[in-house]
Amino acid sequence: MVEPLAPMGPLDPRVTPARPDLAASHLAGKVQAARFVDGELREIVDPQAPLRRSPAPDAPLDTEALKGERVMIYENNEEGWSWGQLTADGYVGWLPTAALRPPGPKPTHRVAVARTLVFPGPSIRLPPLEGLSLGCTLAIERTEDPFGVMAANGYVPARHLKPIDEKETDLVAVAEAFVGVPYLWGGKTSLGLDCSALVQLALGACGIPCPRDSDMQERTLGAALGPRADLKRGDFVFWKGHVAIARDAMSLIHANAFHMAVTIEPAASTIARIHAAGDPVRIVRRL
């Protein structure tokens, strides 16, 4: 296991492609490394790919990359792992090499529901090839009602897709599609996700860039209102290491380890419960 490089200055190792032995060439002069290399752009071909802290299947899961995402790869090892940086949110880590390929056609559509299926032909009676989660992006070559046909010949229900440039307008409604999904540290799909992934996915569907982790979101999302602000729909409530989305003045939605799921809860009792565990609200932020 290679330890992350201690950054020189304000560089965050989670989003800085640098290790003591290797770093991205654009970081020359900014970090210390034995060698600097140019990256090679790749695309996630699997429904989702784990991004792990080290090149091992039992290493901590830091996040997941979704089908269609691009990643800049700086190293491939002999054990089937590739080290690189996601282009969407900048997260750095190890991905299974088998989940990557050279970039294909530019994505035209995104999955706009919590989960959909890809069929090998134009029939829902065929055994599905794979399941895709909200946020996956696809190159749709044509429409054969009721399917969108991928350039790679997969058939996806067209009603589950939206053009890549058609954005959602209600981030809370996007988050509500995940109610009941299990809590998974580092997860980012309808099979399991964590609190900051729920925020990132909801904002991403609305076309709003969002960093991956809650502390990053706490520093950058919208305007700070203070810890006791009156809540409005779409506000973000931050604790140390946790974030929830306000549905209205009285309720929150969040992926949480207390219920081990995405839940809708009364705001007052949720805030009181977390406070009683030693974590008062740190800040409320509003877009």
60-99: pLDDT as tens digits:
999 999 999 999 999 999 999 999 999 999 999 999 999 9
Q: What is the pLDDT of residue 6?
A: 39
Residue type, 108: T
- Residue 141, pLDDT > 60, answer yes
Position 5 confidence tier, pLDDT thresholds 50, 70, 90: very low
CA distance 80 to 5: 23
**pLDDT(172) > 70:** yes
Q: What is the pLDDT of residue 284?
A: 98
Is the bond into 146 cis (omega within 30 degrees of 0)?
yes
Question: Could you tell me which of 164, 117, 106, 171 has the C-alpha nearest to residue 139?
Answer: 106
Look at residues 275, 169, 184, 161 and name the one whose alpha carbon lies nearest to residue 227. Answer: 275
- How many Å apart are CA 18 and CA 7, to the nearest integer? 8
What mean pLDDT is predicted for residues 14-18? 97
Q: Encoding tokens for residue 276?
A: 């009683």
pLDDT in the model for residue 152: 84
Q: Which ranges of the chain would DSSP assign to H, the alpha helix?
A: 171-176, 195-205, 214-220, 267-276
Question: Does the pLDDT of residue 101 top 90, yes or no?
Answer: yes
Residue 133 pLDDT level (bands cut at 50, 70, 90): very high
Note whether 56 and 177 are within 8 A (CB): no
pLDDT of 20 strictly over 90: yes
Cα angle 123, 128, 131 (rounded to 5 degrees) comes to 125
Which comes out higher in pLDDT, residue 162 or 9? Answer: 162
The pair of structure tokens assigned to 118 is 């890809």
